[in-house]
A and B are shown apart, each in its own frame.
Chain A
Amino acid sequence: MTPLNILLVLSAGLFFAGLFGVAARRTILMQLISLEIMLSGPALGFVAVGAYHGSVEGTGMFLMVLGLAAAEVALGLAIYLHMRRATGGDSDLAHRLRG
């Protein structure tokens, strides 16, 4: 196991920790926090590979992931605040969509 291998394993671990959170939690707010953790796993992978090859593409991809995470958090929290009165923040109760 070289350092890059270990870092990639850790980034996969971060991703799967977040995936477990999204699947196991029923509170929408906790699922959003888990989504953040899911997105930070690939970010670590991109930066590690970029540093390994000495290229800036890794950091560039990290910035793309960051933009995605920022948009996702803003929209997700707005939708959560909207749905909270109808469902109490429980995603199991939000199985029926209405415009």
Chain B
Amino acid sequence: MSWGFAIWAATLALAAAVLSVTRASAVHALLLLLASLLALGAAFFAMSANFAGVIQLLIYAGAVVAVFVFVVMTVDASETAMAHERKLLRSAWRWPALFVGLSVIPILFGIGGGAMDAGAPAAADTRELGLLLFGDWGVATELVALMLIAGMIGVRHLGRSLGPRLRERGRE
């Protein structure tokens, strides 16, 4: 595939991301996040990183967004809550925008300046990837696994202490 399609898809992802962080409604923000992640997956496929593209679709656009959907169901989406959210955003966007603008300028010049000649994107071999992850990078893979276990235990702990209190509230 080509760099051109990858750039187009990544531009779409950036546009969806900018729209996502400026929405008042959490559902709209979540749908735009999903669009951004799907466009990123398309960019990965265009760069011949097929394994990364499949994982992006399965884990990011599938599992992570599904978890978000369960939480978004609990959010207050009434008109008064939306108006409050819009008011908060309108009063608070200037300083972050200035900060981001000032820090993005040197980075754009730094990345955009150097000349790198490009051939066609090269395909990454999945077999090689497995050998890398469980050979040379074995310790890093173990660390990621440990981090995921720590996350799982933390979520289990937080979720368990929520249960009895919710039941008490139901009895009241």
A residues bordering B, Cβ < 8 Å?
A: 1-14, 16-21, 23-27, 29-30, 32-34, 36-37, 40, 43-44, 47-48, 50-60, 62-64, 66-75, 77-82, 84, 89
Contacts and interface: CB of A to CB of B under 8 A. Distances in A.
B164 to A, nearest CB: 13
A10 to B, nearest CB: 4
Contacts of B152: 74
A44 B43 contact: yes
Contacts of B93: 20, 24
Chain B interface, DSSP helix/strand/loop, else mixed: helix
A34 B17 CA distance: 8
Contacts of A79: 158
B92 A17 contact: no
B130 to A, nearest CB: 9
Interface of B: 3-4, 6-7, 10-11, 13-14, 17-18, 20-22, 26, 29-30, 33, 36-37, 40, 43-44, 47-49, 51-52, 55-56, 59-60, 63-64, 67-68, 71-72, 74-75, 85, 88-89, 92-93, 95-97, 99-100, 103-104, 107-108, 111-112, 114-118, 121-125, 128-129, 132-133, 137, 140, 144-145, 147-148, 150-152, 154-155, 158-159, 161-162
A3 to B, nearest CB: 3
Contacts of B92: 24-26
Contacts of B59: 66, 70
Contact of A36 (B4, B64, B89, B99): B64
A3 B4 contact: yes
A11 to B, nearest CB: 7
A21 B148 CA distance: 25
B116 A59 contact: no
B14 A81 contact: no
A82 B158 contact: yes
Contact of A37 (B20, B44, B124, B162): B20
Question: Which 10 pairs, one residue from A and one from B, show the smallest C-beta to C-beta distance?
Answer: A54-B122, A21-B21, A3-B3, A23-B96, A71-B151, A51-B47, A67-B144, A51-B121, A24-B96, A78-B158
6 contacts: A17-B21, A24-B92, A29-B75, A54-B124, A77-B67, A78-B159
Given A10-B11, A21-B21, A56-B125, A51 B49 contact: yes
